[in-house]
Structure 1
Amino acid sequence: MLRIGAALTLADLPLYRDWLIAGQRDLEIQDFIRTDLLLGDWRSHVQAIRAELDGYEGRLGLHGPFIGVPIDNNDPEIAPIITRRFLTALDICAEMRAVQMVIHSPYSTWDYHNLGNDAATAPGKSARELKIAAVHEVMASVVRKAEDLGVTLVLENIEDIDPRDRLLLAQSFSSENVKLSIDTGHAHYAHGATGAPPVDYFVTAAGADLAHVHIQDADGYADRHWAPGRGSINWHAVCAAIAALPVQPHLVLELRHAADIPAAMAFFAREGLAG
């Protein structure tokens, strides 16, 4: 049976720390998506989180920055700022002893329809190659630092329609420290609204490269972050696909309201899918 943890902020930790520690469940800290923290006194915030996690020995991750920092923006003036944000987030990983950091995919709905439009690119360069090259310009030093620190960067689907594009991007770094993340609600939105395959197909396509899953339910129309059981995702298919993987990825509930965690866990228990 799958064991599920949660994605939480410092404010939520007092309520769930005993549950997390009792099962040494996967945990993802989400405070550091905030630009004010990344540019401010993040060390004091880390100390407060570590104090709350005394006794926690589970797999700890961090959600990296994403607000205004697309990883494919290789503008020569803007790219160094974006790179710096991610290097700072890796410093935070080191201070927190986190082993994983979530990064948002650069692939949009527009990309899906235009990555094959090579006539619009420079001679000898495909649109897919140019997209990957842009990400490398921004993230190459971030990947090297992640390797030095032993942190795995996981690329989370956002608007992705074809799950293979993100896999090719991850593998293009030729690094064991770049893997994939799946957000179940994002995949279900893409399935319902833009014609992507269903969520379990995303899991199967990622295969052994899947290292992290955001677990949330949705209706196939928007990014709901509902407790599982309240939307229309086929959780039996999704959990079966995860269980078939060679290594269980980090599994964390990422809900709009942390208060819905007990309801989510009760649903998985009733269905015999996870505990």
Structure 2
Amino acid sequence: MAKTLPLLGAALSLDMFAHHHDWILGDQRDLELQSFCWPNTSQAELQQMLTRAQGLLEGHTGRRGLHGPFTGFSLDCADPEIVTVIQDRMLRTLECCAALGADQMVIHSPYTMWKESDLQANPASGFIQIERVRFVLTPVIARAETLGVTLVIENCEDLNPALRVELAARLKSERVRVSLDTGHAQFMHRRLGAPPVDAFIGAAGGALEHVHLQDVDGYGDRHWHPGEGSIAWHSVFKALGRLPKMPRLILEVNDERGLLKGARHLIESGLAR
């Protein structure tokens, strides 16, 4: 029996969800809404956005997620006053998840080249960093558990693909797993010698529940359509196929209007549908 190809989903603003509405609902694709993570959205504006999103989601039976807040902070923040702001932002987005029937929220890894180098020079800093993340996320995880939302930690400037996987495990919650951004991994591979994208997938293993699909040339975080950069997509999908469970595959490109260009590349390559 032929193996069923994985189904592509998309990360979209509300405007671009409306634009690609038929494509998403036609095959009930997974959806990640990215309009609810910005710090400058007022409560009144947020309610209007939720109402609009609920209307657009009528008839959608695919899985849903939201991108969580990330602007202007790191998960290992050591300033307790700023931690309160971070927690408030994340808790607000979790309530948006509940209102929209979303069961995933993407958050960003705290690891950087600087911090990873410090782990090697001073191993105690690793323990401190994890405990800082625990302090920031404890009320967020508790609320996520109540709502049935899984927090997925996305690699950004990560060099060692195992660190955020270990971080997720150390937080000791069934509602904390990991995400992979293919472009971020490729950027760190080409610029700073991190392992290739398929090695990030292997390191995550069964903890990988979400993937951002985007392509880069290795120079910057391009968010190009798959096929426009240097990622070896066959190796990526081969690694994904070895996982015990296929994660959500979410196209995340800057050219949201042209989203179907990258989708067609992967579909015509026989990698997805």
TM-score normalized with structure 2 length: 0.96
Pairing partner for 1:62 from 42, 49, 66: 66
2:66 is paired with a residue of what secondary structure? strand
2:81 is paired with a residue of what secondary structure? coil
Distance change >3 Å, CA 40–CA 114, structure 1 → 2? farther
Distance change >3 Å, CA 129–CA 257, structure 1 → 2? same
Name the residue aligned to 1:268: 266
Q: Which runs of 5+ in 1 are unaligned?
A: 119-124
1:81 is paired with a residue of what secondary structure? helix
**Distance in 2 of aligned mates of 1:51 and 1:99:** 18
Amino acid at match of 2:37: I
Asked whether the equivalents of residues 10 and 49 of structure 1 are also in contact (C-alpha less than 8 Å), the reply is yes
Farther-moved stretch of structure 1 (243-252 vs 32-41) = 32-41
In the alignment, structure 1 residue 100 sits paired with structure 2 residue 104: yes
2:250 is paired with a residue of what secondary structure? strand
Pairing partner for 1:130 from 110, 128, 131: 128
Asked whether the equivalents of residues 38 and 85 of structure 1 are also in contact (C-alpha less than 8 Å), the reply is no
**Distance in 2 of aligned mates of 1:172 and 1:38:** 34
Asked whether the equivalents of residues 38 and 88 of structure 1 are also in contact (C-alpha less than 8 Å), the reply is no
**Distance in 2 of aligned mates of 1:40 and 1:128:** 40
**Distance in 2 of aligned mates of 1:111 and 1:55:** 45
Name the residue aligned to 2:227: 229
**Distance in 2 of aligned mates of 1:39 and 1:117:** 44
Amino acid at match of 1:264: G
2:41 is paired with a residue of what secondary structure? helix
Name the residue aligned to 2:204: 206
In the alignment, structure 1 residue 43 sits paired with structure 2 residue 47: yes
Amino acid at match of 1:79: V
> Share of identical aligned residues, percent?
44
Amino acid at match of 1:3: L
Asked whether the equivalents of residues 150 and 176 of structure 2 are also in contact (C-alpha less than 8 Å), the reply is yes
Q: Which runs of 5+ in 2 are unaligned?
A: none
Deviations 1:226-260 (A, max 9, x none): 00011010000001111221111111100011122
Amino acid at match of 2:217: D
Deviations 1:113-154 (A, max 9, x none): 111222xxxxxx711100000101111110111001000000
**Distance in 2 of aligned mates of 1:10 and 1:200:** 31
1:222 is paired with a residue of what secondary structure? coil
The count of aligned residue pairs is 269
Distance change >3 Å, CA 38–CA 174, structure 1 → 2? farther
Name the residue aligned to 1:121: none
Farther-moved stretch of structure 1 (208-217 vs 64-73) = 64-73
* Aligned-residue offset at 1:69: 2.7
Deviations 1:61-85 (A, max 9, x none): 0000000132111312211111111
1:77 is paired with a residue of what secondary structure? helix
Amino acid at match of 2:7: R
Report 1:29-40 matches (<5 A): 29-37=33-41, 40=44
RMSD (Å), alpha carbons: 1.2
**Distance in 2 of aligned mates of 1:226 and 1:38:** 31
Asked whether the equivalents of residues 74 and 137 of structure 1 are also in contact (C-alpha less than 8 Å), the reply is no
Deviations 1:180-216 (A, max 9, x none): 0000000000000111000010011100000100000
Name the residue aligned to 1:23: 27
TM-score normalized with structure 1 length: 0.95
Name the residue aligned to 1:71: 75
Name the residue aligned to 1:166: 164
In the alignment, structure 1 residue 6 sits paired with structure 2 residue 17: no
**Distance in 2 of aligned mates of 1:6 and 1:104:** 18
Name the residue aligned to 2:249: 251
Deviations 1:18-49 (A, max 9, x none): 11111111100000121122655312211101
**Distance in 2 of aligned mates of 1:76 and 1:15:** 41
Amino acid at match of 1:219: D
Structure 1's consecutive aligned runs of 4 or more residues displaced over 4 angstroms after TM superposition are none
Farther-moved stretch of structure 1 (38-47 vs 102-111) = 38-47
* Aligned-residue offset at 1:261: 1.6
**Distance in 2 of aligned mates of 1:242 and 1:58:** 20
